[in-house]
Amino acid sequence: EAGVTQFPSHSVIEKGQTVTLRCDPISGHDNLYWYRRVMGKEIKFLLHFVKESKQDESGMPNNRFLAERTGGTYSTLKVQPAELEDSGVYFCASSLWGLPSTDTQYFGPGTRLTVL
Amino acid sequence: AQTVTQSQPEMSVQEAETVTLSCTYDTSESNYYLFWYKQPPSRQMILVIRQEAYKQQNATENRFSVNFQKAAKSFSLKISDSQLGDTAMYFCAFMKHEGYGGATNKLIFGTGTLLAVQP
């Protein structure tokens, strides 16, 4: 079974540019989460999809971030325009719909974003 | 709001020895879950072990075990017979039980402990 995949693995962009990150969850996982780790700090929750619907986007930093999950499959996270403080590692995780006791979140390898 | 604290940014252990990583958390909730995740260099994060707060028995997974002290809000990870492959960043995480099905069960992470296993 394929795990969670993320693309690209690294992205280096100039301040003001746009970047789109992609996450492919494990097949059949309805829950999809985005997290971010800024250098040296804790990993923080950004938002949660259930299928194609945003369930909770309380962790999104501001309106420069836009997440979508078309058709309830893969998800994209677009940053437009990017700022220096957006640099960090963006993780995606997916889990089955069900009880918290069983819905382990499986993480992707992350996308390292560097904004210059 | 819940917080998770890992006070050891880096640790080192000799191969075959035992090491304990510390984690404390703060919450007023009674129903929650605790996790340890590991992220090896250039690889993705994987779940090492999980503990349900309502269970008194400490969780174990092969060489990995936890010491869960609910009253003290402490959740340490013990790695026995350390192996080179255990070299990784270890994250402690808390999850409040929000509900079933589509509820947002977000993880709250500590800052991580970088463990190096020396040959």
Cα B45 from chain centre:
12
Q: B119 and chain A: CB distance < 8 Å anywhere? A: no
Residue numbers in A near B111 (CB within 8 A): 40-42
> Per residue in A51-80, is it b (16+ CB within 10 Å) or e — as a string?
eeeebbbebbeeeebebebeeeebbebebe
Structure tokens at A109: 């390898």
| pLDDT band for position B81 (cuts 50, 70, 90) | very high
What number is the average pLDDT over the span A93-105? 77
B50:A103 CB<8 A: no
Nearest to A108 among B44, B109, B110 (CB): B44
Residue A29 phi/psi, 5° resolution? -85, 115
**What is the predicted pLDDT for the residue at A40?**
79
B-chain residue closest to A55, CA distance: B104
- The answer, yes or no, to whether residue B100 has pLDDT greater than 80, is no
Least confident residue range of A17-31, A101-115, B84-98 = A101-115
Residues in A whose CB is inside 8 Å of some CB of B read 3-4, 30-31, 33, 35, 40-45, 48, 50, 55-56, 59, 91, 93, 95, 97-101, 103-110
- The answer, yes or no, to whether residue B68 has pLDDT greater than 70, is yes
SS3 content of chain B, % helix, strand, coil (to 5): 5, 50, 45
Q: How far apart are CA B86 and CA B39, in angstroms?
A: 9
Q: B116 and chain A: CB distance < 8 Å anywhere? A: no
| pLDDT band for position B99 (cuts 50, 70, 90) | low
- Choice between A28 and B21, residue whose per-residue pLDDT is larger: B21
pLDDT > 90 fraction of chain A, expressed in percent and rounded: 78
CB B66 within 8 A of CB B93: no
